[in-house]
Structure 1
Amino acid sequence: MLRNLALVLGLAASPAFATGLEIEIAGEANGVVKIDLLEEVAPNHVAQITALAAEGAYDDVVFHRVIEGFMAQTGDVSFGKFGDQFDMRMAGRGGSDRPDLKQEFSDVPYDRGVVGMARSNDPNSANSQFFIMFAEGYFLNGQYTVIGRVTEGMEVVDAIKRGQGRSGAVPGEPDRMVKVTVTE
């Protein structure tokens, strides 16, 4: 109960609890991805992600940037919600109504299946967007906050609709996170 209250208030998660996400994905990829969140590595980022998930903010948010052999990015709760007013040209430009986070860089390497926080050029600008690595990307080590690891469903991640060009912009209808649930 106290943990759930802390999540709603946006307070750091207690390292004593194992927290994760269960993400139902639909589109070209269909299935469930389970992520173990690393609250001991990035407590403030994990608290923000779990609070947004508990509020339903990630439900129906698209994968707006997907680069073959690199990563799949999602989490724009401001402009990335799939629906009647959805405009793919805006997806990826927003975050949430919560404040940006101070970086929590670590020595956890960007291996296949690692989940990291997206940000602008400012290392203290991560908010709600995150990405899942298709392959190792060690050039990101120590520059982007690691928040978790895929523990099940990497085959679903591998099937996410790819974007085009260097930007990885997804053409047509992108895959989306239908439902994101916090697990303990």
Structure 2
Amino acid sequence: MLKTLAALAILAGSVLATPLFAAEPENTLVLTLKDGDVTIALRPDLAPKHVEQIKKLVRDGSYDNVAFHRVIDGFMAQTGDVKFGNMEKDYNPGATGTGGSDLPDLPAEFSNEKFERGVVGMARSQNPDSANSQFFIMFAPAPSLNGAYTIIGNVEDGMDRVDNIEKGSSAQNGAVANPDRIVKARIASDN
């Protein structure tokens, strides 16, 4: 009986660890990082305009070599400044985090989904309708973000690789002196 209960507990744990939402290849973002790939299920059901813009930027190659410029241990890793964050060209560490893309800012698409570990959200200024290209991946739950930032996806695989991203200085609000980067970003259906 105890062996059966233990087996059920293990099975329940693995079921609960499975993502609640899995995307088809057209809505699967793959980020290649220094340690390997991170697979993200994009959520057009929650944020269709944001997901469309992310996919356009990915397909344009805009996220390749872009720094994880703000990484706060126990909170999140932020990237996606395609204007100032490309570490292969025009990298500007002082301005990285203030830029976006040549595409327009997007109106907020808030949802009732929760910011939990592995959730991917859009970065923005104080204006809720200012998200553009920057996004962040949660290391841990952050209830203060719920309903205030647009959720665009969740990590399906590779969260251990996200955990290995170089952390920033807490004294500098997570600014990273020697940042890691997105080596390459792609949509899974484009292989």
Q: TM-score range by the shorter chain?
A: 0.7 to 0.9
Contact 2:79 2:134 in 1 (8 A): yes
Give the aligned partner of residue 164 of structure 2. Answer: 159
Q: Does 1:170 align with 2:176?
A: yes
What is the CA-CA distance between 1:17 and the residue it aligns to? 7.6
> Is the contact made by 2:26 and 2:187 (CA closer than 8 Å) also made in structure 1?
no
CA–CA distance in structure 2, aligned partners of residues 43 and 80 of structure 1: 25
Q: Is 1:120 matched with 2:125?
A: yes
Query: Number of matched residues?
Result: 166
Instruction: Give the distance between the partners of 1:17 and 1:75, measured in 2 at CA.
Output: 21
**Percent of aligned pairs with the same amino acid:** 52
**Structure 1 stretches lacking a partner, 5+ long:** 1-14
Structure 2: tracts of 5 or more residues without a match: 1-22
Task: Give the superposition deviation at 1:83.
Answer: 2.2
Call closer, same or farther: CA 1:17–1:179 in 2, change over 3 Å.
Answer: closer
Structure 2 match to 1:19: 27
**RMSD over aligned Cα, in angstroms?**
1.5
Q: Aligned partners of 1:79, 1:50: CA distance in 2, in Å?
A: 19
Please, what TM-score do these two structures have when normalized by structure 1? 0.87
Distance 1:100 1:85, change over 3 A: closer
Structure 1 Cα separation of the partners of residues 65 and 39 of structure 2: 17
Pairing 1:17-56 to 2, within 5 Å after superposition: 18-26=26-34, 30-56=35-61
Contact 2:25 2:187 (8 Å CA) reproduced:
no
SS in 2 for 1:151: strand
State the 1:18 CA deviation.
5.0
Describe the shift of the 1:84–1:59 C-alpha distance in structure 2 as closer, same or farther (beyond 3 A).
Answer: closer
Q: Does 1:102 align with 2:110?
A: no
TM-score, normalised relative to structure 2 = 0.83
Query: For 1:159 and 1:17, how far apart are their aligned partners in 2?
Result: 25
Q: In terms of Rg, which structure is larger?
A: 2
Residue 137 (structure 1) aligned with residue 137 (structure 2):
no
Corresponding residue to 2:151 among 136, 146, 152: 146
